[in-house]
Structure 1
């Protein structure tokens, strides 16, 4: 992932093959770039600065493999460990409903669609090759969305 002018580029994915992790191409078969908010860009820049300071303090002990999020050694984070330990601890300390790390994709899609973002944009952000995957699997209807639809229809039918 590279941050350029508030855009991040997803060029590789970390795949687990047996006990090893290897870098591969994203599932869609191609890289993609998405725009991020100024707040997210600022947080990522701060993270990169801390990571650079860590790299300098560890010297040769840090293996820079180009990961934005890595262990203190520079090695890739084991996603299973992250999801079951670190992310679970973050969720617990935040006092919010327990979710899996992957559920953040569902939340992202639902929030964007609820705010009226064009489904094709949501599809692109999630990296889906087919819009049906985005709409059928990653969008969820909330009571607020149903209320809004009812109000809009009621307004349209008023004489």
Structure 2
């Protein structure tokens, strides 16, 4: 057995070392140090050779964790640019400084647990800590799939918990009060669409008049305005690509917006850059999310209503519809959720009577007359 003892080491001096031919027919050394006893080294060597014979042996990567993460992110073609930017920030600002120098092959569950403890001490939000863990888990899962490591150590670590936040919505009275308060604003259509149709901010800012069918009272949601202020084909999810029906009121507001846009175009002359956006600056250029958020905060303060996020207008739309007993499947399709389960999970507190209604509906369907119901059970015999 090629088991050796390093006489210069007092602790864990035993190691195994043997040579094999690689796929090119060249000899290379397989060596592993750090065993407490000769027997431990022998067992490990037997296990490695057995894995080689079965074709399950994974050659441990010599890359540092930072090197691997940078390479992993650069070659990801299945994520959006905004997501890639977010991952890059997490890697460079949080993962690399703490555990980036550790060899990829030596990252284990204890490494990750210790790392998460340090991250949690920085008082980041629970959702941000979960996002940091998500990058670790995804990257290490890919390393396992590519056989750079034997097993994804993040799979052995409990995910950081995220407490469920209270969902804030406006009542019908609050919604009407806000819409009334902003009715003289040139871009009130933003908030009309958010409350009446539940569209996301990016969907509203990416909406063009060519996507609007006023005759048939429909909006085709096919694009979003991304974080680079560019029109991006496709929405947040595949289900987000959808057609939604709109009311007479929304149709009228869209017609008013189009008339005002034509006036702005005439006033700007050659300086107008017509991109057909429903929501735009007075010169036709896209209205960024930062600009939209600034207007929202200013109008919210002016209205003196309960403070909610812009995204909560989407929740308001859903809650108002469900309060009118609109079926959750209809709400799901309107909001563009990928499954009805998401809708039910988000708004289950708004449908507490569904089970009770189902029970009474079954009773009405199978109702028996009093004379059909025996008050005393028949004898067994």
- State the TM-score, normalized to the length of structure 2: 0.36
**Corresponding residue number in structure 1 for 2:251:** 41
Residue of structure 2 equivalent to 1:8: 219
Q: State whether residues 237 and 338 of structure 2, in contact with CA within 8 Å, keep that contact through their aligned partners in structure 1.
A: yes
1:81 pairs, out of 264, 280, 291, with 291
Which of 325, 330, 337 is the matching residue for 1:116?
325
Offset at 1:63? 0.8
Q: Are the equivalent residues in 2 in contact too, given 1:3–1:41 (CA < 8 A)?
A: no
Q: Which consecutive unaligned segments of at least 5 residues does structure 2 have?
A: 1-206, 364-381
Q: Deviations over 1:95-150 (max 9, x none)?
A: 2111111111111111111111111111111111111222223x2635xx65xx39
**Match of 2:230, SS?**
strand
1:53-92 matches, within 5 Å, as 53-83=263-293, 85-92=294-301
Residues 71-116 of structure 1 show CA distances to partners (whole Å, capped at 9, x for unaligned) of 1121111112321x21112122222111111111111111111111
TM-score by length of 1: 0.81
**Post-superposition shift, 1:21?**
2.3
Name the residue aligned to 1:132.
341
Residue from 315, 318, 338 that aligns with 1:106: 315
The gaps in structure 1 that reach 5 residues or longer are none
Tell me what 1:50 maps to. 260
SS at match of 1:21: coil
Structure 1 distance, partners of 2:292, 2:272, is 20
Any idea what SS the aligned residue of 1:34 has? strand
Q: Alignment partner of 1:141: what SS?
A: helix
Give the distance between the partners of 1:82 and 1:66, measured in 2 at CA. Answer: 18
Shift of 1:22: 2.3
Correspondence 1:31 to 2:241? yes
Whole-angstrom CA distance in 2 between matches of 1:134 and 1:73:
38
The higher radius of gyration belongs to 2
Larger RCO (alpha carbons 8 Å, 6+ apart) = 1
